[in-house]
Amino acid sequence: MVDRIRHVIPVVLAVLGHATVAAAEQPWEVGISASTRTRAQALFEEGNQLFAREAHAPALVRYEEAIALWDHPLIRLNKAITELRLDRVLQAADDLDAALRYGAAPFDDGEYRKALAHRDAVARRVGRVEASCREPGAQVLLDGEVWFACPGRGARRVLAGTHVVVGHKDGYLPISRQQTVAAGTTAVETLAFVRIDETIVYQTPRWIPWTIAGGGAALAVGGVVLAVAAARQMDRFDAAFAKRCPSGCAADLSDVPDLRRTKERAETKSALAVTGLIAGGAALVTGAVWAVWFDRPRRVVPVLEVHPTTRGAEARVSWHF
């Protein structure tokens, strides 16, 4: 087909370039002067010669220069074929669409069938990604490249495979979505942003330190109650001892066993009260300090990293407290 274009199109271009005013212009000819068509023809010929020598990159440059002068469907078709030789599939897909925008009219039957065959072959290798967002000032990236700003919507043709859509805005959690796009399909993403202020975490469940503090307070209160009870029981012992032992009793109170039991109980309650006050106070202070100071709320600070890969890019989000 390239050879056919190389030999035939110059003739076609020349004829079009010298067409009479009375001849009806085709849609792709409107507004293009004869001199512009002649310059485009010359660049097109150079591109064809370079393509024939398999100098595809220089040929592509010549086709692009020709299209800048005259966006003729046949030049677009040659450009698309050259891009396929250079494995620029997405660019070729766009140029094939442009070449076929007028349907079969610019082509003969063989050219048109080949153009459709190339488009079908390309379609088996590409899909689409669409995304939308509403948050003003946010930005969306596709495979590590800036795509569009929010609020807005974007649609892009991509090679079949895995792609990463990332949304970010200062003060908001970054969004990273990985999509596997099959040929001929469209992956759709709706990005909803969440403020960082709304994502607060704690190092431990909040009920733990406050439960410890509450338990300590209860233990301390119990110690106070026991201390009061011990003091009252000791007062009763002192009164009974003065009454029953005016001249003194045995040191171990063996001669008044009921008084000895009263004293022992008072001393036991007093010891338990001291233990409760110490342990409860310690637990109360520990729980309160833990809850108020060491377990203060920590903001989640996500760090977004986008790394290029052989298939585009991947995004990673790490969390710093």
Percent of the chain residues past pLDDT 90, beyond the cut: 50
Q: Would you state the pLDDT for residue 292?
A: 65
Q: Is residue 302 part of a domain?
A: no
To 10 degrees, the CA torsion angle through 76, 82, 88, 91?
0
How many domains are contained in the chain? 3
User: What does pLDDT average to over the chain?
Assistant: 81
Closest CA to 59 of 2, 139, 4: 2
Q: Are residues 186 and 235 in the same domain?
A: no
Closest CA to 136 of 176, 172, 165: 172
Q: Is residue 34 part of a domain?
A: yes
Strand segments, DSSP code E, in the chain are 126-133, 139-142, 145-149, 152-159, 161-168, 175-181, 186-191, 200-201, 298-299, 301-309, 312-320
Q: Are residues 9 and 113 in the same domain?
A: yes
Q: Are residues 146 and 211 in the same domain?
A: no
Q: Are 236 and 321 in contact (CB under 8 A)?
A: no
Distance CA(158)–CA(173), nearest Å, equals 26
Q: Are residues 135 and 161 in the same domain?
A: yes
Domain that holds residue 46: 2-123
Of 123, 152, 177, the last residue of a domain is 123
Q: Are residues 142 and 163 in the same domain?
A: yes
Closest CA to 133 of 106, 117, 152: 152
Distance CA(43)–CA(38), nearest Å, equals 9
Q: Is residue 319 part of a domain?
A: no
Listed in sequence order, the residues at least 6 apart from 231 whose beta carbon sits closer than 8 Å to its beta carbon are 266, 270
Of 88, 123, 158, the last residue of a domain is 123
Q: Is residue 11 part of a domain?
A: yes
Rounded mean pLDDT of 252-262?
A: 76
Q: Are residues 101 and 156 in the same domain?
A: no
Rounded mean pLDDT of 196-222?
A: 70
pLDDT at residue 15 greater than cutoff 90 = no
106 vs 231, more confident: 106
Q: Are residues 14 and 118 in the same domain?
A: yes
Q: Are 139 and 169 in contact (CB under 8 A)?
A: yes
Q: Are residues 21 and 66 in the same domain?
A: yes
Q: Look up the CATH number of the domain holding residue 12.
A: 1.25.40.10
Q: Are residues 113 and 136 in the same domain?
A: no
Q: Is residue 42 part of a domain?
A: yes
Rounded mean pLDDT of 80-93?
A: 96
Q: Is residue 301 part of a domain?
A: no
Q: Is residue 321 part of a domain?
A: no
Rounded mean pLDDT of 150-166?
A: 95
Q: Are residues 289 and 254 in the same domain?
A: yes
Q: Are residues 225 and 274 in the same domain?
A: yes
**β-strand partners of 103:** none
Rounded mean pLDDT of 4-22?
A: 36
Q: Is residue 105 part of a domain?
A: yes
Q: Are residues 10 and 66 in the same domain?
A: yes
pTM above 0.85, yes or no: no
Distance CA(307)–CA(66), nearest Å, equals 37
Q: Look up the CATH number of the domain holding residue 130.
A: 2.60.40.1120
Q: Would you state the pLDDT for residue 204?
A: 54
pLDDT at residue 273 greater than cutoff 80 = no
